Chain A
Amino acid sequence: MGQLDNKVAIVTGAGQGIGKACAEALAAEGAIVVVSDINGDAAAAVSSSLGSGSSFVADASSEADVEALVKHAVDTHGKLDIAVANAGIAHAAPLVAQSLADFRKVTAINLDGVFLVTRFAGPAIAEGGGGTIVNISSITAQAALPLTGSYAAAKAAVVSLTQTAAIELRDAGVRVNAVCPGFIDTQLVQDRKADFEALGLPMPFDDLIAAKQGRYGTAEEVGKLVVFLAGPRSTFSSGTAYVLDGGARASVL
């Protein structure tokens, strides 16, 4: 018996990384998961490994796609209980050296994408009697990291959206929370190590990570927190951004 038996969940950006781990963690607790990604092959592969649910190709920044994703979940699985707005990208560049188009590419997915999940999944979840939304933010929502200005701004905005949605949807029985992971051992982070090191760090990037947060977190650890917030054990949690960072934010050094 799982914590999420018979619950229907959608996860955006679930073809890899944290999204994939969230889909797996939700399914491990009994949820029927709609694995959504812009990469249809990746989504289908994750979905088939789960053995239940379905996959759906969606561009998280597309209003029509996210609306269709929510409709697919309800039409195919009868209802929607849980939505995890995870899809995200990063564009590593100093603020003063990037185009507006590049800036907007990031905010279109990382911010608009979360709004769209709230916009369409919120009413669908309320319709079924209530449930939960979990938005994947980041510790960059709370403190800056050079080269990630657009990413961090979007992630900070996600916390704000989480707060407003939590209050607006409370009476409808929809709880909305955010998760703020530190550095997780994902491709998104590994791909940018060289960029950070080129800034002139006092030590290699991995050593700095070890000093700040002990070690890299794992996508599975994010999945466990998402399950807690999505499920029946966090019924008084809403509107909060939960930090998961091995202690990185605990010290100013």
Chain B
Amino acid sequence: MAELEGKRALITGAATGLGRAIAELFVERGASVYLTDINEEGVAETAKELGAAGSSRCDVASASDQEAQFAAAQEAFDGGLNLVVNNAGIEIASILVEQSEEDFDRMMDINIKGVWLGMKYATPHLIANGGGTIVNMSSVAGVGGAPLLGSYCASKAAVIQLTRVAAFELRAHNIRINAVCPAFIDTAMVDRLVAPVEALTGLPFEDLTAMKQGRRGTPAEVAEMTAFLASDDASWTTGSHYVLDNALTAGLL
């Protein structure tokens, strides 16, 4: 079933992890994809494996890189960009009040400004193409706090707010914008959290996540949620953040 037939998607942070999984599923469902990442070689490799329309290096915190990636995608697609996944993001685990100013700023530059720039520079293309859909990668850390992830939590909450306002403002242009909020997913990013969280809390990370969310989610599951929001099946969903956490945030303990 090719439910994303006719979709031409740009996906950021697509060399590995969630971005790659989203690209894989989009291609499987019939979309054309253009992939970007700060890791130029890595994303070129992924693009080749998936048969993408193209790929390029993009530092999402750079306005000129953002502008260039959309121009490049339009050229690769021969026009018609109608789907954008602002997925690129970083985490820097640190006690909030001990985090360096440089790390805090870098987090906000990539995770917040990167999403804002993605919407800003995608919008003229989407409007020119008659509308489209944007999916922004937030996190359950955007709806709840988590130790060692203070600046990350703040950045992901900001993504939800940017999503709301842009969705409302751009609705009349036939642009839908939503956010996805995954819990702990089986990625390298989460692997990197295990040791520091265990050291701080004294609790076994895997047991804790198993109690809270049953198991780690998979990148493919995040891709499915992203694909649903990107599809015409979600034609009346905009300005929302869709949590994907196997009941993590539903519970108190």
* Residues on A facing B (Cβ under 8 Å): 1, 162-164, 166-167, 170-171, 175, 182, 214, 217-218, 221, 224-225, 227-228, 233-240, 242-251
Contacts and interface: CB of A to CB of B under 8 A. Distances in A.
A217 B225 CA distance: 20
Contact of A245 (B163, B224, B233, B240): B240
Given A224-B234, A236-B218, A167 B247 contact: yes
A234 B245 CA distance: 10
Contacts of B246: 170, 175, 236-239
Contacts of A175: 246
Contacts of B248: 239
A227 B224 CA distance: 13
Interface in B201-230: 214, 217-218, 221-222, 224-225, 227-228
Contacts of B183: 236
B167 interface: yes
B238 A250 contact: yes
A236 B242 contact: no
A236 B168 contact: no
A205 B227 CA distance: 34
Nearest to A224: B233
The dominant DSSP class at the A interface is: mixed
Interface string B128-172: 000000000000000000000000000000000001110110011
B238 A247 contact: yes
25 contacts: A163-B247, A167-B251, A171-B214, A221-B236, A225-B237, A227-B233, A228-B228, A233-B224, A233-B227, A234-B224, A234-B244, A236-B183, A236-B218, A237-B246, A239-B245, A239-B248, A239-B251, A240-B242, A244-B240, A245-B240, A246-B171, A246-B236, A247-B239, A249-B239, A250-B167
A251 B244 contact: no
Contacts of A234: 221, 224-225, 228, 244
Interface of B: 1, 163-165, 167-168, 171-172, 182-183, 214, 217-218, 221-222, 224-225, 227-228, 233-240, 242-251
Contacts of B240: 242-245, 249-250
Contact of B164 (A171, A218, A251): A251
A183 to B, nearest CB: 11
Given A247-B171, A250-B164, A242 B228 contact: no
B237 A244 contact: yes
Contacts of A248: 239
Given A167-B247, A240-B243, A251-B164, A246 B228 contact: no
Nearest to A221: B236
B239 A250 contact: yes
Given A221-B235, A243-B240, A247-B168, A235 B221 contact: yes
A238 B233 contact: no
A239 to B, nearest CB: 3
- The 4 closest A-B CB pairs, nearest first, are A250-B239, A239-B250, A239-B247, A163-B250
B224 A246 contact: no
Nearest to B242: A242
Given A217-B236, A245-B236, A251-B164, 10 more contacts: A163-B251, A171-B214, A214-B238, A221-B236, A228-B233, A233-B227, A238-B245, A239-B248, A240-B242, A249-B240
Nearest to B212: A167
Given A233-B224, A250-B238, A250-B239, A166 B233 contact: no
A78 to B, nearest CB: 26
A225 B183 CA distance: 20
Given A236-B218, A239-B245, A250 B168 contact: yes
